[in-house]
Amino acid sequence: MDDKVMSGSDRTALVRALPYARRYARALLGSQERGDVVVAAALRAALAEMGPDMTDAGARAALYLAISDDMRRAASSDPVFSDTEDDGMSLSQRMLLLLTALEEQPLTAAAAACRLEIEVAERDLRSARDGLRANAAARVLIIEDEPIIALDIQDLVERCGHSVVGIAATETEAVQIARAERPSLVLADINLGAGGDGATAVARILRDVTAPVIFVTAFPERLLTGDAVEPAFVITKPFDPTTLAVATYQAVTRGVRPV
């Protein structure tokens, strides 16, 4: 369908779906730049296929499907996206993990986005979840100004098989710990209250330390506009252990890549 004849509601649904498509593609590729290129192509594909009166759920499903299709095509020619990678996780398994945990899609929707039969998707997802803890553990710096939340995050991180090298409540403290401990993963809240800004702390840390970053926020759409330098990995507060396990796994295995 030509996008020129789409209704206003169709366009609104697509606009609302874009932040989630960006989150999925960025996490899948480990890069804002590469993820947003894939989303732009997915948007064009979705515009060509959409019918009238598209719902928000339908718009998200169409974009997830277009992104997943693009990734499968890339896997046929680019060794970076080979079907089974060095860590033993297949592309389909990665996509199922991200769609069900990070994007909170039901398995039926995730299977459809991956063009898998539900029985195959169930098997692949179960195998992928079983393999999460088998991969290399990360040394994690937590940036969070609320003590109780920070301790909860520490517990979740350690239950995922990682170690916590420090907990910082302010920008200054975060930079000091990062320089001393050289973490292999940073998990950062955005709003540090009187302690400053988590994004600024991360920018300062990355001048000296090469590590993937996961941002934790109650308002992920604010970090997924596509208008500026934004994170590749974003999870939404509150989150459960599976979401954190998937995000940390993907960040550690995808998060430091050329763009």
For 214, list phi and psi in degrees, rounded to 5.
-110, 125
CA distance 167 to 49: 47
Which two tokens mark 145?
Answer: 């100004």
- At residue 2, the pLDDT reads 44
SS3 category, 158: helix
- At residue 133, the pLDDT reads 63
Residue by residue, pLDDT tens for the chain (259 residues) are: 344 445 555 678 888 899 999 999 999 998 888 899 999 999 888 887 766 677 889 999 999 999 999 998 887 776 555 544 555 788 999 999 999 999 999 999 999 999 999 999 999 999 988 877 666 678 999 999 999 999 999 998 898 888 999 999 999 999 999 999 999 999 999 888 888 888 889 999 999 998 889 998 877 776 776 666 577 888 888 788 888 888 888 888 875 443 3
Closest CA to 18 of 73, 51, 66, 53: 66
CA distance 181 to 42: 40
Q: What is the DSSP string of 64-128?
A: HHHHHHHHHHHHTT-GGG-SB-TTS-BHHHHHHHIIIIIS---HHHHHHHTT--HHHHHHHHHHH
pTM: 0.80
Kindly report the CATH number that applies to the domain delimited by 135-254.
3.40.50.2300
- At residue 47, the pLDDT reads 80
Kindly report the CATH number that applies to the domain delimited by 3-132.
1.20.140.160
- At residue 134, the pLDDT reads 63
Closest CA to 115 of 53, 67, 80: 67
Strand order through the sheet with 213-217:
163-168, 139-143, 185-189, 213-217, 233-236
Q: Could you say which DSSP state residue 208 is in?
A: T
CB 132 within 8 A of CB 122: no
Domain assignments of the chain as residue spans, ordered by start? 3-132, 135-254
Which two tokens mark 106?
Answer: 């039901």
Residue type for 61, please?
Answer: A
| Percent composition of the chain: helix, strand, coil (DSSP 3-state, to 5) | 60, 10, 30
Which two tokens mark 104?
Answer: 């909170």
The sign one gets for the Cα dihedral 109, 19, 95, 140 is negative
